Amino acid sequence: RIVFVNGAFVPEDEAKISIFDRGFLMADAVYEVTSVLDGKLCDFAGHVARLHRSLGELGMPSPVNDDELLAIHRELVARNGIEEGVVYLQVTRGAHDRDFAWPEGLKPSLVLFTQARQIVTSPTAAKGLRVISIDDLRWGRRDIKTVQLLYPSLAKMEAKRRGADDAWMVMDGKVTEGTSNNAYIVTRDGTIVTRNLSNDILHGITRASVLRLASDAQMKIEERPFSIAEAQAATEAFSTAASSFVMPVVEIDGVAIGDGSPGPVARRLREIYIETAR
């Protein structure tokens, strides 16, 4: 793979970052994942807008301007011949001798790489996901897309250990989101329910697009928290993320959702999302 690191396109085994980089030592870094379909970036403007928001919340400067960011994404997709997959981008505060406080004027690091992936024809999308619920023990600023991903990684491993595919995290009795996706249910009267935006969840770019498409298709939407019990009694459940688009969820804590197969609303939204992205 050709990757991008601090201004240069290089083979992945030649890319270098300092061991004193605060991204490595302190998880002092933010990231974005943008999907690629037919060689084209999906929802790119949304991902750039959220990157600026994350950087702003942490008082980090942007290492390059938006035109450069787009050019780097495009060149990386072309150089790696990515037709379908994702581009990962990370900005760290930069390198400095280890200290909790950082000096003014650190030079941020910028790293990007691609991952080829079958998103549209994913076999998991056809089968649907089995999820477990788990306490949400992350910090209180989940709206900032930082690389502090240890807890979600542990949650995902716990799901795998229990024979499931993912975990939905729960705070004060209500689902916040999946380990790396936003969570939804469909109630008996066909309303799509997903948690409202706040500091408790990541403001998903795919979430914004899918809700817009659902509303264009005259579907009813309610943005509010829901419980695992409500999800288990729902007719459908699903999740959204750039890396998977819309994923049907067919089981929660061993209880089948609806008839235990991907539901029509999730399948339709998945189709519409892919059509629109193409």
Active site residue 156: no
The one catalytic residue in 40, 107, 127, 145 is 145
Binding ligand PDD (rule: CB under 6 A), the pick from 73, 96, 207, 267 is 207
Residue number with CB closer to ligand PDD (51 or 95): 51
Return the residue matching tokens 């390198």: 95
181 binds ligand PDD (CB under 6 A): yes
CB of 181 vs ligand PDD, minimal distance in Å: 5
Tokens linked to 84? 């379908």
CA distance 208 to 252: 24
For the CB of residue 192, give the shortest distance to ligand PDD in the complex, in Å: 15
User: Is 54 an interacting residue with respect to ligand PDD (CB under 6 A)?
Assistant: no
CB 24 within 8 A of CB 127: no
* Token pair 């329910």: residue: 193
Size of the site for ligand PDD (CB under 6 A): 14
In whole angstroms, how close is the CB of 275 to ligand PDD at the nearest point?
18
Q: Is 243 in the site for ligand PDD (CB under 6 A)?
A: yes
CA angle 76, 78, 80 (to 5 degrees): 70
d(CA 66, CA 57): 18
* Closest C-alpha among 111, 109, 119 to residue 43: 119
108: contact with ligand PDD by CB under 6 A: no
Distance CA 16, CA 200 (A): 34
Positions in the binding site for ligand PDD (CB under 6 A)? 33, 177, 180-182, 202, 204-207, 240-243
Which residues form the catalytic set?
A: 145
